[in-house]
A and B are shown apart, each in its own frame.
Chain A
Amino acid sequence: MKSIEEINRKIREGDVVVVTAEEMKKIVEELGTKKAAEEVDVVTTGTFGAMCSSGVFMNFGHSDPPIKMQKVWLNDVEAYTGIAAVDAYLGVTQISETKGFEYGGAHVIEDLVKGKEVELKAIAHGTDCYPRKEIITEITLEDLNQAVMLNPRNAYQRYKAATNSSDRLLRTYMGTLLPNFGNVTFAGTGEISPLNNDPEYRTIGIGTRIFLCGAKGYVIGEGTQHLPPFGTLMVKGNLKEMSAKYMRAAIFPGYGVTMFVGIGIPIPILDEEMAKFTAIRDDGIETEIIDFGVARRDRPVVRQVTYAELKSGKVEINGEEVRVSPLSSYYMAHEIMEELKRQIEKGEFLLTQPVDKIPTKSVLKPMRQKEIKVVSSVMTKAITISPETGIDEVSKIILQKNVNHLAVVDENNVLIGIVTSWDVAKAVAKAKGVNLGKAKDVMTRKVITTFPDEPIEVAARKMEMHNISALPVIDAKRRVLGLVTSEDLSKLLARW
């Protein structure tokens, strides 16, 4: 048994034994947990990944005459200033109002750390105590009274890997997902990641001193959506002490802006149990591959997988080998572990005893919603026809029933195509002579469809993406149950 004080004394005296999480695995393998616990004092862990729940609290100082900011922008990226007069919180994912996805909160933060000037623009109502109504000026990090990075959710212990079963390329916060299980992406650094090396949260707790983007930071609690073993941390650190090397603004095409955040946490090897914990290997860290092809909160699990399989670069899905991309940088995580190791060895970084624990158990609640409106509640009866129906007959049905879409079905009511009034008009315009052809000649065979229990927002997005105005509603056997039109949906969605 060792105490944090004893380890700190060794750090001060310069005879502390520090190893990286990577080195620790081998040491425990060679020496066993008992001997390893005696020899090693500290294990450094690291991660470097896109962490959207990050941002910076700033205090700009008071202008003359003073202003109570109602809205504030930094390089056209809005920060939240619904707090005191010249305080604001800039989140990394906020996008520029002029440059869109190309520039966001993360870029402003990176620019500030690099010492660049940033344009500050604010507006206000004007009050007796704060008469000023607007201000435009240039600021640098040095000009700010405080700039504190405060990240509500960082350093995910493990994360669900992503793939895409749909036939459409998806641009997500997990990167670009190719159609038909074309690739898999995953986040987290697995066996070297901080929380995986202290799964009971014995040494990482409130008040733990950490390495945050090059500065000394602190854990201030469990992160939002903390759900062990998918644990998370809330952290803070002084932006003025940070280095651009250990952070990076990032753009995920089609999703937006985020930031690569670099975190390192030293784990004191207090006893044999901590040696055992820090010996964890990727093959013992499990997660799931989930399907982003389904646009729902509870995405279907494609399969269980370990970080060892994910890191191998290839996983098997439905008998096919699929290539895997990490989203976190092992290289940077490794640099962070080495830098933290160096700082501890040099006596520049002391360990802390947490002042309180973070929960080892937690529940994740879904959002409380009045109701989730699904397609079955808005669909109307589909008018169906056989593929052999003549175009003249089709046009009569369209007029009689006052509809624009006819579902073409076989004898079992199974969907085989769709004919629109536009298709009919085109057929008539193109026709030579009296033979106008049949429904099967003009129908669209690759029909975009929906299901009765699909939320109406998902159906609306399908229509928007494919630039169409109706979707046949089908069951699992592709039998037609009804039709939903953009008109039906827009009435509902507009009401909100």
Chain B
Amino acid sequence: MLLLLKFDSKAVKQPIISKAAIDTNTLINIIKASVGARRGELIVEVEDEKVKEVEKIFKSYGVEVQELDKAIAKDDEKCVHCGLCISICPVEVFEIKDKKVVAETSKCIHCGVCINVCPTRALSLPV
């Protein structure tokens, strides 16, 4: 499961990821991070069984947690299977299978880069 974490100015100064990992004995994989002086936004991957436990720890430190369960959506009516999205996606969601472009949406990290690249506007991120 992917989690979107939003740190405010207080939380951003603390080593919360390490604390959560140690306290819950869970591996936390950082997929994307944008951390500034006053706020931070991270996308992390956590084992499905441990999600609730980890979420609880984050919340206790004042971190806003959002589960990313709706991934990129491809409109197959619009898609012409050109494959332009393939090399753009940072986590290799797209690949060609039997000549068609298919999306392995469980890998999606919601970065949205592909949406603006698709020439037929076939990609969207449901909110």
Contact = CB atoms under 8 A, between A and B. Distances in A.
Interface of A: 48-50, 175-176, 178, 182-185, 248-253, 258, 260, 313, 322-332, 334
Nearest to B81: A331
Contact of A260 (B82, B86, B95): B82
A108 to B, nearest CB: 16
A253 B119 CA distance: 8
B99 A330 contact: yes
Contact of B87 (A252, A323, A329, A330): A323
Contacts of B84: 175-176, 185, 325-327
B89 to A, nearest CB: 9
Given A183-B87, A326-B82, A250 B100 contact: no
Given A182-B87, A253-B117, A325-B88, 5 more contacts: A185-B87, A250-B119, A252-B119, A260-B80, A325-B84
Which 5 residue pairs of A and B lie closest in terms of their CB atoms, listed nearest first? A183-B87, A250-B119, A331-B81, A325-B87, A323-B87
A286 B24 CA distance: 54
Contacts of A253: 116-117
28 contacts: A49-B82, A50-B82, A175-B117, A184-B87, A248-B80, A248-B120, A250-B120, A251-B120, A252-B119, A253-B116, A253-B117, A313-B95, A324-B87, A325-B83, A325-B84, A325-B88, A326-B82, A326-B84, A326-B96, A327-B82, A327-B83, A327-B84, A328-B82, A329-B80, A329-B82, A331-B80, A331-B99, A331-B101
B88 A330 contact: no
A178 B113 CA distance: 11
Nearest to B99: A331
A330 B96 contact: yes
B114 to A, nearest CB: 9
B61 to A, nearest CB: 35
Contact of B83 (A176, A248, A329): A329
Interface residues of B, number: 20
A182 B119 CA distance: 19
A250 B80 CA distance: 10
A251 B121 contact: yes
Contacts of A323: 86-87, 92
Interface string B86-127: 111000100110011100000000000000110111000000
B42 to A, nearest CB: 22
Contacts of A325: 83-88
A486 B43 CA distance: 42
Contacts of A327: 82-84
A248 B96 CA distance: 20
Contact of B81 (A175, A251, A330): A330
A251 B96 contact: no
A98 to B, nearest CB: 18
A184 B101 CA distance: 17
Chain B CB count within 10 A is highest, among A49, A258, A326, for A326
Nearest to A255: B119
Contacts of B99: 330-331, 334
A327 B82 CA distance: 5
Contacts of B96: 313, 326, 330
A327 B84 CA distance: 6
B25 to A, nearest CB: 35
